[in-house]
Amino acid sequence: MEGSPPDKAQLDAAFTELYRAHLRDVYSYSYYRVGNHHDAEDLTEQTFLQAYRHFERAQRESEGRPLRPWLIRIAHNLAANYYRDRSRRPQTTIDDAGALPELHTTEGLVEDREDLNRILECVRRLPDDRREALIMRFALGMDNREIARALGRTDGATKVLLHRAIRQLEELVKAEAGTEAV
């Protein structure tokens, strides 16, 4: 016999939990995708509104698996539309000097800000899929399986994608550093 449908209050509570747990993930992903706070806020908002609309089905179909990849996939699709609609590319590093420097200084992570900015600039120049995989791995701490689900790829293809992304980025950064040193 089919189980009774989940109570709406339970669903709302589960969505609130999801939202609290992953607001920072969605925001970080959006921020590194679009490169500015204003659009990242819009993208985050749209992501959660869309997620809210389809939450029940996603929860049913997830069969207990984490929903973070599903959320990030929504953000990924919305970001793709964002670029298509506005014919934009991600902006250079971080435009409004807001969250990133503040976070880095509070975390004591800034040793060489120019170096970090150079890395971010090179991340921006990577092909979309490689850039996204790196954001998911390094900004969100997602594992291969989660990234694979978010990107709709196999685990093996994701592993290769990440490996190539890191290799390409390293080469870009080295080349950039060499150019600046000249």
Partner 1 sequence: MSDTWDFETRLRQALAPVEPPDELELRLQTTLGSLVELAADELEAWELRAMKDPRNWPRAALGPAAAVVIGTGAAAGLVVLRTRSKRHKRRAQAHSALDLAERTVRDAAREALRVFHDVAR
Binding interface with partner 1 (CB under 8 A):
5-9, 11-12, 15, 19, 23-25, 27-28, 31-32, 37, 40-41, 44-45, 48-49, 52, 56, 99-100, 103-104, 107, 109, 115-117, 119-120, 123, 134-135, 138-140, 166, 169-170, 173
Q: In angstroms, give the least distance from the CB of 123 to partner 1.
A: 7
Q: In angstroms, give the least distance from the CB of 145 to partner 1.
A: 19
Helix, strand, coil % in the chain, rounded to nearest 5: 75, 0, 25
The helix/strand/coil state of 19 is: helix
* Residue 126 · residue 134 · CB < 8 Å: yes
The region, left, alpha or beta by phi > 0 then psi within -120 to 50, assigned to residue 51 is alpha
For residue 14, what are the CA distances in angstroms to 24, 37, 59, 67, 125?
A: 17, 27, 9, 11, 38
Q: In angstroms, give the least distance from the CB of 149 to partner 1.
A: 20
* Residue 42 · residue 78 · CB < 8 Å: no
78 vs 140, beta carbon nearer partner 1: 140
Q: In angstroms, give the least distance from the CB of 63 to partner 1.
A: 17
49 vs 175, beta carbon nearer partner 1: 49
78 vs 123, beta carbon nearer partner 1: 123
25 vs 146, beta carbon nearer partner 1: 25
